[in-house]
């Protein structure tokens, strides 16, 4: 009887180790399989109080846009583009160009999951460090702002040749819990001042839980 018990115990230990190892690799595979952009189709749209609510539960993101704005998929459906009712694309751009307007406003939004300190860490750690740097350095060209109670990095880019397309590109990026939330405004149209205000209103209604 004791001999059987001595044999059973090592077998049980081996089985438990194999289960633990298998569970570890399964969790690692599952986490890695979930990295990347959230697809356009994963976002749910609701109507409430004269606004459209666009949300994605996995990332905890929810945004509000005016009910007359249009929602379309970005290139490859890896982002969402919000267009004002008077939006007209710039004629100098091709079909795969960013939604730069000649008239009206456009805002682009994307969400992706990364794994910190891994091969899947493309922007997450960089943004966290950049925010720390900008909080302590006067030489930082970017600005740290707050969106939904979280620190975000705001970057403004102006093309060198303003004679072709005049205006600014503004991006706001938030690294949080291995998620990267990106919001972009293309302030190039004749309505760019109004669009800048619309972008600020949009950011005020962003919710990240």
pLDDT of the residue at 34: 44
What are the angstrom distances between the C-alpha of 91 and each of 73, 81, 131, 161? Answer: 20, 18, 36, 17
In tens, the pLDDT along 75-131 reads 889 999 999 999 999 887 777 788 999 999 999 999 999 999 888 899 999 999 999
| H or E stretch at 40 | none
In tens, the pLDDT along 2-13 reads 555 555 555 545
**Which 8-state DSSP code applies to residue 104?**
S
Q: Give the mean pLDDT of the chain.
A: 84
Location of structure tokens 């794994």: 115
Tell me how far apart the terminal alpha carbons of the chain are, to the nearest angstrom: 57
pLDDT tier, 21 (very low <50, low <70, confident <90, very high otherwise): very low
Contact 121, 132 (CB under 8 A): no
For the chain, what percent of residues have pLDDT higher than 70? 81
pLDDT of the residue at 2: 55
Task: List, in sequence order, every residue forming a beta bridge with 89; answer none if it has no partner.
Answer: 101
pLDDT of the residue at 6: 53
Spatial separation of the C-alpha atoms in residues 5 and 33, rounded to whole Å: 41
| DSSP, residue by residue, 126-172 | HHHHHHHHHHH-TT-SSEEEEETTEEEEEEEE--S-TTTS-SEEEEE
20 SS3 class: helix
In tens, the pLDDT along 147-177 reads 999 999 999 998 776 656 778 999 999 999 9
């Amino acid at each position: 009887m004791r001999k059987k018990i001595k044999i059973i115990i090592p077998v049980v230990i081996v089985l438990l180790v194999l289960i633990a190892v298998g569970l570890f690799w399964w969790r690692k595979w599952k986490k890695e399989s979930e990295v990347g952009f959230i697809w356009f189709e994963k976002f749910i749209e609701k109507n409430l109080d004269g606004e459209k609510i666009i949300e994605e539960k996995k990332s905890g993101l929810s945004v509000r846009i005016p009910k007359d704005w249009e929602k379309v998929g970005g290139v490859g459906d890896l982002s969402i583009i919000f267009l004002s009712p008077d939006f007209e694309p710039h004629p100098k751009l091709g079909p795969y160009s960013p939604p730069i307007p000649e008239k009206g406003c456009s805002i682009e939004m994307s969400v992706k999951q990364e794994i910190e300190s891994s091969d899947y860490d493309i922007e997450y750690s960089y943004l966290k460090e950049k925010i720390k740097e900008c909080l302590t350095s006067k030489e930082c060209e970017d600005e740290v702002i707050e969106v939904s109670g979280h620190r975000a990095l705001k970057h403004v880019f102006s093309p060198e040749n303003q004679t072709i397309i005049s205006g600014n590109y503004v991006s706001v990026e938030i690294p949080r819990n291995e998620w990267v939330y990106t919001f972009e405004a293309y302030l190039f149209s004749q309505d760019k001042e109004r669009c800048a205000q619309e972008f600020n209103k949009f950011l005020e209604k962003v919710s990240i839980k």
